[in-house]
Structure 1
């Protein structure tokens, strides 16, 4: 994957060159650099990890959030930045009782 030096948009390949679909900027492809890039093509999916015998503390933090599915009052959580950097993180919850997953955004 290559990004435009002019506008930062993702570029695509056309006739052996990188071309920006947003501003039209073009540059030559570097096959040595592209060979070092990591791609998902041809990769196999990883196996599921058995967490059944893992201590609760090792899995991650929990909080007193009520599950909308079963009503249990404990959930594991993690926070991720999925929007612009100037916006708050999104909290993802997983119920420790039923495994239901939901998210909470600040608006």
Structure 2
């Protein structure tokens, strides 16, 4: 991949020259410099995997009792909802019933 020295846009190859699609600047191609570049040509197409269903499993969990169903496991996350000099608030979501609750420092 080569970038234009004049405008910073990505350049494309046209024969033995690099050409900027934005400003039209050109410069010669150098085979020594291009030997270390990675291209997508000749790479096999892989299978596209939808990870959206597994995203929930990637969230961190902790041992805490759900106030609704007494399950002992919940997903957790921290959010800064008050002033920056105050501690973050912990939000929990039960892994069984999806009940949500929060816990503040006192």
State the TM-score, normalizing by the size of structure 2: 0.48
Report the structure number with the largest CA radius of gyration: 2
Instruction: Name the one with the larger strand percent.
Output: 2
